[in-house]
Amino acid sequence: MLIDRACTQLQSAIGVTAGPVHARTFRHHLGIPQYELGHGRILAEVAAAERRHPGLFVTGNAFRGVGTNACTADAERVTDAVVTYVRSTMPEASPARLASTPRAFE
Ligand SMILES: Cc1cc2nc3c(=O)[nH]c(=O)nc-3n(C[C@H](O)[C@H](O)[C@H](O)COP(=O)(O)OP(=O)(O)OC[C@H]3O[C@@H](n4cnc5c(N)ncnc54)[C@H](O)[C@@H]3O)c2cc1C
C-alpha cells in the first residue's frame, strides 16, 4: 500500500510509470519520536531539570517538534541560551569568540 502510494506520487511528480525492480517497506519505529498524551508534562519536567542544573541544555526532536524546521528553531533557541549562560558564567571568555558562535540561520 505505501509502495503503491509512493509509485503514484512519483508518477505525478516526475512522470515515472515503471514499477520498482525492488521495493521494501521499512518503518523507522525508533527514528521519529511519537509524542504521547502527557508530552506537555514531560516538557515541563525537562525545563525544571534545566533550571535545577544550570548549564544543562536540552534540545532535539524528542521535545518541541520532530521536523527539521522545528529542530533547527529549537536549536537556535538553545544556542542563544548557551551563549547567554557562558557570557554570564565566564566573563573572561572572549567577546569576539562568543560573537562568532555559529547560529543556524544568519
Ligand atoms: C527516515 C526519516 C525521514 C525524515 N524525513 C523528514 C522530512 O522529510 N522532513 C522533516 O522536516 N523531517 C524529517 N525527518 C525528521 C527529522 O529529520 C529529524 O527529526 C531531525 O533531523 C532530528 O534532529 P535532531 O537534531 O533531534 O537529531 P539528529 O539529526 O539525529 O542529530 C543528532 C546528532 O547527534 C549525534 N550524536 C548522537 N549521539 C551522540 C553522542 N553520544 N555524542 C556526540 N554526538 C552524538 C548524531 O550523530 C547526530 O549527528 C525524518 C526522519 C527520519 C528518521
pLDDT tens-digit map of 8-22 = 999 999 999 999 999
CB 63 within 8 A of CB 43: yes
The residue type at 83: V
Instruction: Give residue 28's pLDDT.
Output: 81
- Every domain of the chain and the residues it spans: 32-99
Q: What would the DSSP string read from start to end of 59-73?
A: -STTTS-SSHHHHHH
- Best residue among 27, 59, 61, 77 to mutate for probing ligand 1's pocket (most ligand atoms within 8 Å of CB) is 61
pLDDT band at 99 (very low <50, low <70, confident <90, very high): low
* Dist. CA 54–CA 59, nearest whole Å: 15
* Dist. CA 73–CA 44, nearest whole Å: 19
- The ligand 1 atom at the shortest distance from the C-alpha of residue 66 is 19
pTM of the model: 0.74
* Dist. CA 30–CA 41, nearest whole Å: 21
Instruction: Give residue 29's pLDDT.
Output: 80
Q: Is 90 in the pocket of ligand 1 (CB under 6 A)?
A: no
The answer, yes or no, to whether residue 70 has pLDDT greater than 80, is yes
